[in-house]
Amino acid sequence: MTGIGSAATRKVMERLAGPSGGTGQTVGALSKIDSDGPAMRAQNATAELVERAVAVKYPLVSVYCEKIVNDFREKFRSFSGSVEMAIEVRHSQDRLEGMEEALEAQADAVTTALSSSRGDWGDGMFYGGGFEVSFGRMARGGRNFTQAAKITFEIGVSRS
């Protein structure tokens, strides 16, 4: 089980940062203002903690492993199960108007990138295409107001 969560996080980040297949909907295309695109971190930390620790650039994308399940789907493998992953997209702006629409567009970019990368990811990992999106409430923070969307999904893992 050593390193499966970290390896899955790296694979997800590669897919999010990679080419979009002509749709222009990679996570790198989220920010039209900054040519560097949004900040992407392999980290499970609250927005408040991140804002206090480093200079934050929005939208902020956090990728992390929530859960590792070895249910021995394949009898003679050392690991055969699933890894539950999460991608949080945090958006911040100075006005409430248009905030929800901007966050929905950013979450849509993430789900489009995920949908276009269904199948075998190599290293014994595969993604079936299912995901769940949940939207948080608006609150103070970031550039005056902030809101987050969380995309959760499962990656199948089979290793000897």
Ordered domains of the chain (ranges, CATH): 4-159 (3.30.70.1700)
pLDDT at 39: 77
Specify the pTM. 0.85
Burial grade of 96 (CB within 10 A; 0-12, 13-18, 19 or more): exposed
Helices (H), 47-140: 47-53, 99-115
pLDDT at 158: 93
Better-predicted residue by pLDDT, 34 or 66: 66
pLDDT digits (tens, 9 = 90+) for 35-69: 455 578 888 887 778 777 877 788 889 999 999 99
pLDDT at 24: 45
pLDDT at 38: 58
Q: Which of 29-33, 63-67, 92-96 has the highest mean pLDDT?
A: 63-67
Query: Per-residue pLDDT for 102 more than 50?
Result: yes
Mean pLDDT of 97-124: 93
Alpha-carbon distance of 17 to 61, in angstroms, equals 11
Name the pLDDT band for 32 (thresholds 50, 70, 90).
very low
pLDDT at 21: 46
Long-range contact pairs involving 64-72 (C-beta distance under 8 Å, separation at least 24)? 64/9, 65/5, 65/6, 65/8, 65/9, 66/152, 68/1, 68/4, 68/5, 70/1
Q: What are phi and psi of 120, to 5 degrees?
A: -75, 125
Query: Per-residue pLDDT for 76 more than 60?
Result: yes
Whole-number average pLDDT of the chain: 85
Better-predicted residue by pLDDT, 137 or 1: 137
Q: Is 59 helix (H, G, I), strand (E, B) or coil?
A: coil
Better-predicted residue by pLDDT, 131 or 143: 131
